[in-house]
Amino acid sequence: MENGQKILEKLKEEISQSEYNRYIKNLEFDAASSRSDILIYNAPNILSAKWIQTKYAKKIAHLYEVQTGINAEVVINIKNKNQKRASKLLSQKNKSSSSTILNPTFTFESFVTGESNRLAYNVAKAVAQKPGIQYNPLFIYGGVGLGKTHLMQAIGNYRLNKGDKVIYNTFEQFMNRYIAHIRSNTMDRFREYYRNCDILLIDDIQFISNKEQTQDEFFHTFNELHSLSKQIVITSDRPPKKIAGLVDRLKSRFEWGMLVSINPPELETKIAIIKKKAVMDGIYLDDEVVNFLASKLGSNIREIEGTIIRLNAMSNLLRQKITLDFAKNAIEDYMQEKKESITIDSIVETVASELNVKISDIKSKKRAKKIVEARRIAIYLARNLTPNSMPQIAIYFGMKDHSAISHTMKKIEEIIQSDENFKVLIDEIAHKIESKKIS
């Protein structure tokens, strides 16, 4: 997170000197109120804050993700207004992104449960209470921002309080450490470090794909700890069988223990989460606004949190209360912006590379099965991820009229309903498109 200021240096390399001097030079990273996944910057005045939010926030988030692997929300505030709040947050919140340190706010108490995550919560709690016995390893999987890291660290915090030695690493950190020790010829210290812990938390293991040497070492670490009945907890954005390039012997180890998924929160859970976050951040939202946000925002809880903080920042900037209308305007602008940054071109490009067909074929009238499928997926995504109307999309793909588009939409929705794998494929492509959207 101390990276927040450094990222602005990176941004400097990507924009013109005059732009930098005008907007970014006076932007200050607010380390006290930021978190590793929510970066808060202070601009000198309202106008530049708004401008920076629309024009540069996404770029900053992108540069940060490249540096740290963390997909963070970027919020632009104005200077001096929130000093008090910042120092209040400072006392509550974790300031460190240094991975081996747990975020103290990620506890069982601060985790809101509902249908979508109750099983994962209960199992995690059981593991925290009796580590190394019943569910070892515990493997938690689910989409981005659904609470995997939170639950994993809740186990860690719980054990830390009991005096256990807890190691939390993202898989990438595990790997980097491994590489560093290989280079310096100090593998004995590496092994010593991991084998002396009581509980090992490995976050985002999906990045293990095709990293054979690290998989080997992880396999040994795993076996050693497991044979000593030390608890191991792993998270991933997908179940072990869907991690490409994961060696069978690790796959089967992961399946020995407990596999549990976290699903996207249903409406009531979203409402409860929004209420809790608002209270924790000292932001007042009435029920009308809460319900509106819950129904309008997606299932990524990190994004929901970012939106609440952004709403609050805007309400401070403009000195307006967060009424339903205020929230509607703010959210609609934001959603529009998000949509506009994705183009049909970028969708076609990603679909083509993911499905291994040519861009020109997708835009052609060819009827080969593979091409038709790619074209349909591109159309479906164009309709869902961009603000283009059906007639506009029809023109782009050289189709007669919008009825062809609406037919395609129905078709794809039917397949999504009946075929889980197809749905996963669509989600993955959509995710790729969204993460590339920086202009």
Residues near ligand ADP (CB under 6 A): 106, 110-112, 117, 144-150, 273, 301-302, 305
Any idea what the Cα angle at residue 156 is, between residues 150 and 157, rounded to 5°? 85
Site for Mg ion in 301-320 (CB under 5 A): none
> Measured between alpha carbons, how far is 409 from 403 in angstroms, rounded to an integer?
10
Residue from 82, 107, 136, 149 that binds Mg ion (CB under 5 A)? Answer: 149
Complex with ligand ADP: residue 110 or 403, whichever CB lies closer: 110
Query: Which among Mg ion, ligand ADP, none contacts residue 150 (Cβ within 5 to 8 A by kind)?
Result: ligand ADP
Residue 169 interacts with Mg ion (CB under 5 A): yes or no:
no
Complex with Mg ion: residue 44 or 239, whichever CB lies closer: 239
Instruction: Candidates 149-157, 210-218, 223-231, 401-409: pick the segment binding Mg ion (CB under 5 A).
Output: 149-157
SS3 439: coil
The first and second tokens of residue 99, run together, are 């991975």
Complex with ligand ADP: residue 293 or 348, whichever CB lies closer: 293
CB of 2 to Mg ion, least distance (A): 20
Query: Which among ligand ADP, Mg ion, none contacts residue 34 (Cβ within 5 to 8 A by kind)?
Result: none
Query: Which among ligand ADP, Mg ion, none contacts residue 112 (Cβ within 5 to 8 A by kind)?
Result: ligand ADP
Complex with Mg ion: residue 170 or 350, whichever CB lies closer: 170
Q: Which residue is nearest to ligand ADP (CB)?
A: 147
On whether the CB atoms of residues 221 and 191 are closer than 8 A, the answer is yes
**CA trace torsion 383, 387, 392, 398 (10° rounding):** -40
Complex with ligand ADP: residue 34 or 117, whichever CB lies closer: 117
Output 329-338 pairs: Cβ under 8 A, ≥24 positions apart.
Answer: 331/292, 331/293, 331/296, 331/297, 331/307, 334/307, 334/310, 335/296, 336/387, 337/54
CB of 88 to ligand ADP, least distance (A): 17
CB of 303 to ligand ADP, least distance (A): 9
> Measured between alpha carbons, how far is 170 from 204 in angstroms, rounded to an integer?
6
**CA trace torsion 105, 109, 112, 115 (10° rounding):** 130
Sign of dihedral through CA atoms 362, 365, 367, 372?
positive
Q: List interacting residues with Mg ion (CB under 5 A).
A: 148-149
